[in-house]
Structure 1
Amino acid sequence: MGGFSRRILPCIQANSASLLFGHFGPKLKLPSRVISGTFFDKNCRIAYYKIASMAEMLLKRKPPKNEVVMDEEKMEVHDRAYKLCKEYLGGKWSELKKNEFQLSVLGGGLTNKLFICQIPKEIRDSNSKVPHTILLRLYGLIIQDFVAQIQESVVFSILSERGVGPHLYAVFPGGRLEEYLPCQTLMTKDLHDQALSRHIAKQMAIYHKLVMPVKKEPTCIMSRLQLYYETAVHMKFDDHNNTKLLNLLREYDLENELKYIKKLVADTDSPVVFCHNDVQEGNLLHMDNTMNPVQMIDFEYSGYNYRGFDIGNHFCEWAYDYSYSEWPFYLYKDEDYPTKEQQINFIQSYIREYFSTNSSHSQSDEKWQVDFMIKEANRFALLSHFFWAMWSVVQAKMSDISFGYMEYAHSRMDHYFKQKAEIE
């Protein structure tokens, strides 16, 4: 799903604000969709870090992008960030005076926990290997799910070391310091560019070839879908409009549709690989690099999953534009769903990259043929629609973000049934 009020910021490499049930943020990537945080188990205990709460309060007034944080109200955040950079980065940072330290809010997004830390230009050391600009990420909610916290940190660290993601400079309780990449996220229309689409496919294939020290069973999406479904069917709203939309949604036989989805997944022989699970335009950076102009970011949802979900979910994102500035803050264009020719262009590039360095599979295997992968991706597109519909119902209750969550849930279900009719 995509994000809301998408804007191109210097580099939106983010996910973050751990909204309850927002491990897969509403397609609210930073700045457009909030994807983020760590998955919240129903019984998890949630604790707020004082600094994160302060950061969230500061951002409610929606400052302009990169606004320098210096007024008295924000000094606590400023001082905390200054101390972190001084302690973890060393070099010129350790010599920096507090009044010289520059902290800017990476504003306009939905996570409210991203900051750009900088050494003033006039005192930077051009010969230093220590960066003069860094991205500070503060988690909004810290849960007592240490397994999830450890896994996320391990994955990010390994991806950083392998050059797949931004460099990691420090991990500390409540956040981390990351490489700041001066770049732009893609827009929905960019996904239709054939050359860019091939580069995205290449990056996805590189990601899918990774071997990571995490749980290998493909349960990360299905287990969350079950939780979202169980929460959604028992949801109650205070306002009339959401109640009306929820009642209309319940007129679908959601229980049987969930059973249908589970059977569809079981009957589709999709390889299990290490998936990004959220390859949409807000998580794709356009780099000034002719060899590799696209880089994937936001690894919060990464985990072993079915290959078809990563590809099918990406195809769904082609049709959703979250840059729309009026209610419900998204547009869906059925004609923008990739045509067969566009899907072939993507999948052929994926296959070429996958087999360029991987000999563990036979390219003659049916599962690695273009026709099979097109069918596989479009079957898993149904899972994408159903998953984000259930997620959106939960967000309609839990989130205070201005977005038409219930309208979005209906949109995803409408197109779920449309694609379901096409594959049967």
Structure 2
Amino acid sequence: MLSSSSDDEYFGNLAVYTPPKKSRYVLDNTVPDSMFRNRVLVMLHRLNVPKWKGIPPAHSNKLIIKRLSGALTNAVYFVAPPENVDAPKLLLRIYGPNASLFIDRTHELANLRRLARHKIGPYLLGEFANGRFEQWLDSITLTRDLVRDPVLSIFIARRLCEMHFAVTLSEHELHELPTVWHNWFKWLPPAREAVKKLRKPLPTMTVEAFASLERDFAAYYQWYLQWSSDKKQWPVLKLVFCHNDSQYGNILKRTARRRALRSPAAAHRVLVPVDFEYAGPNPRAFDIANHFAEWMANYHHPTHSYAMDSGSFPTVERRQEFYQAYAEQDAVLNHKLTLYDAAKLSTDLSPELRESIETYMQQCEAAMRAIMPSVHATWALWGILQHIEDENDEWVDVVDGSDTEEHAAAPASTENAPKEHVPPIGSSDFNYLGYSDAKLNLFYQCCASLGLESRGRDEFPYNDISKQNE
């Protein structure tokens, strides 16, 4: 098997100089295993993916293919050449049948190409009618516990800032409605209709409660526009390219040593953001708020994977560390600060720069609280709609052959393969309505913290998070 450094050498600046090829053909993952393997190899030949052209079709039965997930939006596979064959490992995504409402694939693929030019995320290697091949990254997926690691949290802040800085928005993107509001107004009508069809609606999802939610969100939206109207100079409110789904499962930590990461100043680049399906223009504060909100989730909990634990929200101290790392990285990118060790917060700042960063941090906290209700409300709509689409899910889950003796081993250096039988988010067993209920309650708690309509909920305890939960 090849090391990830070898894979990096294969791809180099491929995304910049060689646009990935496209095929109009469909790759059907419901066919028998041997046929699926053959079609994967034929597709790789059509797309002229580096080194794979030399593997003859007769050897397709020797491919190592491991299904990693089968969610509503993607079926994801690890693909490797036969042993002792010099070709890079790949990630194969086959799109699900029910993603069109949430995901614009043309937009997503354009984003992947944009990001690859800045060495953010995996390279896009080939596209076909219902999926794509990407660069495989030897890595582990961050977990609920890993995002709480103080150093990794600093790294996440720095990487978010770099992504926000690197990708230039088009004139159209700069003048269109930010993604958070666009999604709300796009998802609201179908969610309203979905609520009417719920057989056993939760108290937050009755027709009457949903009508109140519409009014309350409209009032919050007007409040936010008024609140932000005189703060357009705040860096954290600048419209930038955002990930918009910065949960722990969408951040990888590379496991293979790379020459480019040996400098302590670049150590944070060991983290790689992935899954840009919801990416688009938003205020920087949205990505920060969404990441903090995801600290409350435990998508692999054996019984309550849908629940949100407010006690797990980052403490004031941890938020301040995150803001400082983000503000420092902004200063580095604007040539106002030299960073020597990405794992540490700077202590020898000039008085002027220190004051600037402290102001930046205060603005981050205020903006995070202001935009947080929108984070919870939009994901609540998403959960309602996913519940409806889940009921009509058309995935046919076939055996991929990876449980045979020949292919039993999981991919090297990855934790993507599930280790226990629990319903993670995105699976057909996930409790989407329970998730939406939790998000709606958080929406009202965060509105209460802003002095807005709360429907009887207490304020969200931003300042009273217990350190014991970290």
Question: What range describes the TM-score normalised by the shorter chain of this pair?
Answer: 0.7 to 0.9
| Deviation (angstroms), 1:367 | 10
SS at match of 2:126: strand
CA distance 1:234–1:169, shift in 2 (3 Å) = closer
What's the CA shift for 1:98?
2.3
Aligned residue for 2:121, secondary structure, equals: coil
Deviation at 1:166, TM superposition (A): 0.8
| Worse-matched range after superposition: 133-142 or 220-229 | 133-142
Give distance in 2, aligned partners of 1:280 and 1:230: 26
Q: Does residue 1:271 correspond to 2:238, yes or no?
A: yes
CA distance in structure 2 between the partners assigned to 1:278 and 1:230 by the alignment: 22
Residue type at the aligned position of 1:106: R
1:422 maps to which residue? 449
Give the structure-1-normalised TM-score.
Answer: 0.74
SS at match of 1:234: helix
Question: 2:161 is matched with which residue?
Answer: 205
The aligned amino acid for 1:398 is: E
CA RMSD of aligned residues (A): 3.1
Letter in 2 for 1:409: S
Give the Cα separation in 1 of the matches to 2:388 and 2:98.
20
Q: CA separation in 1, counterparts of 2:95 and 2:311? A: 38
The match for 1:338 is: 314
2:413 match? none
Conservation of the 8 A alpha-carbon contact between 1:155 and 1:212: no
1:20-419 equivalences in 2 (<5 Å): 51=26, 54-55=28-29, 58=30, 73-89=32-48, 92-101=51-60, 102-110=63-71, 111-122=73-84, 124-125=85-86, 131-141=87-97, 148-212=104-168, 214=170, 215-216=173-174, 217-236=176-195, 240-242=199-201, 246-247=205-206, 250=209, 253-266=212-225, 267-268=227-228, 269=231, 270-288=237-255, 291=267, 292-326=269-303, 328-358=304-334, 369-400=360-391, 401-419=428-446
Tell me how far 1:142 sits from its aligned partner.
9.6
Contact between 2:26 and 2:129, CA under 8 Å: does it hold in 1? Answer: no
Letter in 1 for 2:220: I
In 1, Cα distance between the equivalents of 2:99 and 2:315?
A: 42
Judge which range, 276-285 or 98-107, deviates more.
98-107
Residue-by-residue CA offset, 1:44-79 (whole Å, 9 max, x unaligned): xxxxx9845x42xx4xxxxxxxxxxxxx72344323
Q: Point out where structure 1 has 5 or more consecutive residues left out of the alignment.
A: 1-10, 12-48, 59-71, 126-130
Q: Distance in 2 between matches of 1:170 and 1:412?
A: 37
For the residue of structure 2 that corresponds to 1:117, the secondary structure is strand
Q: Contact 1:115–1:137 (CA<8 Å) still a contact in 2?
A: yes
Does the 8 Å contact 1:136/1:177 carry over to 2?
yes
Contact 2:297–2:305, Cα closer than 8 Å, also in 1:
no
Aligned equivalent of 2:264: none
Aligned length in residues: 352
Q: Deviations over 1:279-310 (max 9, x none)?
A: 11010111235613321111122211111111
DSSP 3-state at the match of 2:367 = helix
Any gaps of 5 or more consecutive residues in structure 2?
5-23, 232-236, 262-266, 337-351, 392-427, 452-470
* Structure 2 CA distance for partners of 1:87 and 1:301, relative to 1, 3 Å: same
* SS in structure 2 at match of 1:402: coil
In structure 2, the CA distance between the partners of 1:78 and 1:378, relative to structure 1 (3 Å rule), is same
* 1:2-46 residue CA offsets vs partner (Å, 9 max, x unmatched): xxxxxxxxx9xxxxxxxxxxxxxxxxxxxxxxxxxxxxxxxxxxx
